[in-house]
Amino acid sequence: MGAALKYLGYSLNSTSESELAEAEAVIADAVSRVAAFDSDQYDDLIVTGESVVGHGYSGNFLWGFDEGDSEYDYFVPDEGGTIWVDNMAVLTDAPHPCTAFTFMNFLLDAENGAQLTNFNWYASPNGASQQEGLIDAEVLENPIIYPTDMSLLEFIEDTGDFEINFTDALSRARS
The mean per-residue pLDDT over the stretch 56-84 comes to 80
Q: Is 1 within 8 Å of 170 (Cβ atoms)?
A: yes
The pLDDT, as a whole number, for residue 69 is 60
pLDDT in tens, 3-45: 999 999 999 999 999 999 999 999 999 999 988 888 888 878 8
pLDDT in tens, 82-94: 987 888 999 999 9
The pLDDT, as a whole number, for residue 45 is 84
Nearest-5° angle of CA 7, CA 9, CA 11? 100
pLDDT value at 70 more than 70: no
Domains of the chain: residue spans and CATH:
1-79+160-175 (3.40.190.10), 85-155 (no CATH)
pTM beyond 0.95: no
Residue 79's closest CA among 10, 19, 16?
10
pLDDT in tens, 99-134: 999 999 999 999 999 999 999 999 998 889 988 789
Backbone angles phi and psi of 115, in degrees to 5: -60, -40
As a whole number of angstroms, the distance between CA 28 and CA 100 comes to 42
